[in-house]
Chain A
Amino acid sequence: MKLENKQIAVYTAILLAIIMLFLPGPDPSKVNLDLQLMAQIIGNKEDHVTPGELSQWIIAGNNDYQLIDIRSKDEYDKGHIEGAINIPIENLLHKNVITDELNHDKKIVIYSNGSSHASQAWVVLKGLGLDCYILEGGYNGWNAAVLNPAVPSATTDDEILLYAKQKAVAEYFGGSNIQVQKPANNAAPVAPQKPQGVKKKKMQGC
């Protein structure tokens, strides 16, 4: 039987279609750094969440995020933020951890003790196309800002209200050194803590 050109074309196309059904797609662990986009995200401060925001998410019971503690297992066992799962940074960047353990449909919030390890991991995870955020200030910042909120030095209604709110949050997370001292005393705070606003700025970046 002699095949016409048209028939050859159709048979070739069908054969290619069948082969394509079984071909693998792009490698999911391929890092693609869109430098301009990343610079834009960092510039717009969309690369991190603040301890305050995270504490609200936890209290509200949000489940649209995954909280990852990238410190060592020892440190995690000593204390960690509620709901965090422990993936030490040396394991985090493995191909099967990234594809299987990280939830690609949720926000991923990572934290280390400070910010540098989390920032390093952030660059890689962002390059993999994950919706990733750093916890601003890391675990240390969390302890300072959420568990031990600073006592306001001024006594405006707003500040007292804010402090009461922060104290309630701290109690929720079982903060150990809650300052029970009334703001109305107007005395210098016992612990040399700065107001949260100042702290925020200091802890930005790596």
Chain B
Amino acid sequence: MFAPLSVYFNWSNGIDLLVSFIIGIGFGFALEQGGFGNSRKLAMQFYFRDLTVLKVMFSAMVTAMTGIVFFTAFGWLDTNSMFIPQTFIWAQILGCAIMGVGFAIGGYCPGTSFVGLSTLKMDALFFIIGLFIGVFLFGEMFPILEELYHGKYSGNMGRITLYEFLGVRPGIIAAIILIMAIGAFWGSEKIEEKFGNQIIQ
């Protein structure tokens, strides 16, 4: 067993951040090359004209998931040492809804807005300013939101994964999600064929 590397080599925070930075640059570069720095392309998904975002993000997820399942089975990876954020089901549903609205309005999600800024896109800059205003407002309103954030209305389920929740082996969930991904790719190509050439008024 040698992974996660940061746990097994006991990296300091500095090394951790440096490695994260390098991986982040790689991820950002891949997103930029995929056209994710362009808010128009990103927004197209909400009109079913270009579902690249769904395909890329779903591919990234199933690739990582497949790797984790295989590495765990080979005994290379200790999933207990991996960082898995806690699940706060109600807080996360609300947060995701807010993020979705922001994505549809702004044309970016937080990650892609920085990709957009890297090629000096003005709309990305405004999106990031909005992002920081949101962070500031959240901080100021935190006392009101605390119960929802991690209190009794947050739906705290602790550090839990789908396979633990359902009490099955991780591979079973992973296989189902992989088949779902294939279905989603097939479905999005069909949708693109149907709506791809429509002109938005």
> Which A residues are within 8 Å of any B CB, using their own CB?
10, 13-14, 16-18, 20-27, 30, 32, 129
Contact = CB atoms under 8 A, between A and B. Distances in A.
Interface residues of B, number: 22
Given A13-B178, A14-B182, A25-B72, A20 B171 contact: yes
Nearest to B65: A20
Interface stretch (B23-31, B78-86, B135-143, B191-199): B78-86
Interface string B168-184: 01111011001101100
Interface of B, secondary structure class, is: helix
Contacts of B163: 25
B73 interface: yes
Nearest to A30: B80
Contact of A24 (B66, B73, B80, B182): B73
Nearest to B176: A17
A5 to B, nearest CB: 13
B62 to A, nearest CB: 8
A7 to B, nearest CB: 11
Contacts of B172: 20-21
Contacts of B81: 32
Contacts of B170: 23, 25-26
B128 interface: no
A23 B171 contact: yes
Contacts of B178: 13-14, 16-17, 20
Given A16-B66, A30-B78, A30-B80, A22 B171 contact: yes
Contacts of A25: 72-73, 163, 169-171
Contacts of B75: 27
B109 interface: no
27 contacts: A13-B62, A13-B181, A13-B182, A14-B179, A17-B175, A17-B179, A20-B66, A20-B70, A20-B171, A20-B172, A21-B171, A21-B175, A22-B171, A23-B70, A23-B73, A23-B171, A24-B73, A25-B170, A25-B171, A26-B72, A26-B78, A26-B79, A26-B170, A27-B75, A30-B78, A30-B80, A32-B80
